């Protein structure tokens, strides 16, 4: 057994991505952000759908075509269809933001 | 956007199961337990693997053949292979226990 809230170092420059479980059509990751955001004009465009929940910290997720980002706080979850372009506008610099992400074929 | 910690009624006799997202080979559920446990001698035996995390509350999960259950607290997660028999020995009666569960083909 491991814990989603363990090993939350804040002294790393990059986001930490850890694969927690994986099947042929699914990948479950923990991502820890410490103030990072997507680069300017960068959009994720993924072949799989993505279920994403923030479990600690705060983030702003922008879906292409929306006027404003979704402000996500602990427990908030969104399912992003495959090829729905999106970007992380902001994660709080005040504490680590812990995301649980499930990528899956539709 | 919806939140994993909303609508946690404690006045229901049954576990609440809500499908949050679904694909051909994956199903993501929120389960809210309020003191329930698996019936005596009942074992789950599932065709899919299961990634399970406790996000609130406490639970004891027993895998067949183990001497003692795994005591799961918020953030603790376990991946149960397909057909690995298991049961929920206990969930705390003191507050709702919120599980996030991903069933997936291996």
The pLDDT tens digits of the residues spanning B15-25 come to 999 999 999 99
Query: Which residues 6+ apart lie within 8 Å of B78 measured at CB?
Result: A1, B51, B52, B53, B61, B70, B72
CB-CB under 8 Å, B104 with A26:
yes
Euclidean distance between CA atoms B71 and A20, whole angstroms:
19
Closest chain A C-alpha to B40 CA, distance in angstroms: 24
Torsion angle of alpha carbons B11, B39, B42, B26, nearest 10°? 0
Reported as a pLDDT band with limits 50, 70 and 90, residue B13 is confident
Nearest CA in chain A to B22: A106
Reported as a pLDDT band with limits 50, 70 and 90, residue B14 is confident
pLDDT in tens, A3-33: 999 988 767 778 999 999 999 999 999 999 9
CB-CB under 8 Å, A55 with B75:
yes
Closest chain A C-alpha to B83 CA, distance in angstroms: 15
Out of A3, A77, A79, closest to residue B75 by CB = A3
Out of B4, B6, B26, closest to residue A104 by CB = B26
pLDDT value at residue A29: 98
Nearest CA in chain A to B73: A3
ipTM of the modeled complex: 0.93
Reported as a pLDDT band with limits 50, 70 and 90, residue B10 is low
The residues with which B51 forms a beta bridge, in sequence order, are B79, B102
Mean pLDDT across A19-48: 95
pLDDT in tens, B52-75: 999 999 999 999 999 999 999 999
Q: pTM for this structure?
A: 0.94
CB-CB under 8 Å, A102 with B26:
yes
In the numeric block, the tokens 């406790």 are attached to B54
């Amino acid at each position: 057994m491991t814990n989603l809230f363990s090993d939350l170092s804040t002294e790393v420059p990059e986001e930490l991505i850890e694969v927690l479980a994986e099947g042929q059509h699914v990948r479950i990751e923990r991502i820890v952000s410490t103030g990072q955001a997507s680069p300017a004009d960068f959009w994720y465009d993924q072949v799989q759908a993505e279920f994403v929940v923030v479990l600690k910290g705060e983030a702003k997720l922008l879906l292409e075509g929306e006027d404003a980002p979704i402000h996500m706080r602990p427990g908030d979850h969104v399912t992003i269809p495959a090829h729905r372009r999106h970007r992380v506008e902001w994660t709080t610099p005040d504490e680590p933001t812990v995301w649980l992400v499930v990528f899956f074929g539709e």
